[in-house]
């Protein structure tokens, strides 16, 4: 299946997860599994070359992004009440699943996002479009998928996170620190919250 079709399928499934009639957590898990499947077909394991130093860097990058997220959330809640309502609605999704479902699904979705958006989409766009255009188009597509969710706070977060993780992938050319960064960010969101 061509990458453009896969991006459309994933974006529509992502939107359906947020807007569809099914439980969000089961729908997003299904979407994540499709993303991982597409990524494996594109040879994502070839760009996962774990080194201890990359894992440490990934944790540090995740902590930095979480700190920026926490500061941004504080600013939004105090100065942009319209967006704050979207932040609260995203946080409320947690109540739709028990922890034994919620926690593994979050980490599966994090993995799927990195495998697909950075490890598949960005990696395949760079040779065709060049480094900077490939990076920016991949970020644009990542954000567009979040626009379809209808949640503007999540869309704004995807813009900054997409730029951040996309740059990390551009810099390292290895998915390991990017993936670990995303997992660390999610672990901090789960344990500390915003």
With 0-12 / 13-18 / 19 or more C-beta atoms within 10 angstroms meaning exposed / middle / buried, residue 81 is exposed
Task: State the pLDDT at residue 152.
Answer: 78
Residue 164 pLDDT greater than 60, yes or no: yes
Stretch 14-21: mean pLDDT? 87
**Structural domain boundaries enclosing 118:** 3-191
Task: State the pLDDT at residue 98.
Answer: 64
Query: Tokens in use for 26?
Result: 């089961």
Task: State the pLDDT at residue 97.
Answer: 60
DSSP per position, 21-51? SS-HHHHHHHHHHHHHHHHHHTTGGGG----
Output the pTM of the full model.
0.88
Task: State the pLDDT at residue 84.
Answer: 61
Task: State the pLDDT at residue 105.
Answer: 83
Q: What percent of the chain has pLDDT over 90?
A: 59
pLDDT tens string 26-77? 899 999 999 999 999 999 988 998 899 999 999 999 999 999 988 887 777 7
DSSP per position, 81-141? HHHHHHHHHHHHGGGGS-HHHHHHHHHHHHHHHIIIIIIIIIHHHHHHH-HHHHHHHHHHH
The whole-chain average pLDDT of the chain stands at 87
Number of domains in the chain: 1
pLDDT tens string 87-112? 555 555 566 566 677 778 888 999 99
């Amino acid at each position: 299946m061509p990458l453009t079709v896969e991006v459309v399928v994933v974006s529509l499934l992502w939107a359906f997860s947020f807007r569809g009639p099914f439980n969000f957590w089961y729908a997003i898990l299904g979407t994540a599994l499709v993303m991982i499947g597409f990524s494996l077909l594109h040879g994502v394991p070839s760009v996962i070359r774990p080194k201890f130093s990359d894992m440490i860097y990934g944790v540090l990058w995740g902590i930095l992004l979480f700190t920026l997220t926490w500061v941004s959330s504080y600013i939004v809640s105090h100065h942009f009440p319209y967006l704050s309502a979207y932040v609260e609605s995203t946080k409320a999704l947690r109540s739709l699943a028990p922890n034994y479902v919620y926690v593994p699904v979050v980490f599966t979705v994090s993995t799927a996002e990195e495998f697909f958006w950075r490890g598949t989409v960005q990696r395949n766009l760079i040779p065709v479009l060049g480094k900077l255009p490939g990076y920016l188009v991949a970020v644009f597509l990542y954000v567009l998928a979040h626009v379809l969710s209808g949640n503007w706070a999540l869309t704004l977060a995807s813009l900054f996170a997409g730029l951040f993780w996309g740059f990390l992938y551009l810099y390292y050319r290895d998915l390991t620190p990017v993936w670990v960064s995303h997992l660390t960010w999610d672990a901090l969101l789960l344990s500390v919250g915003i």
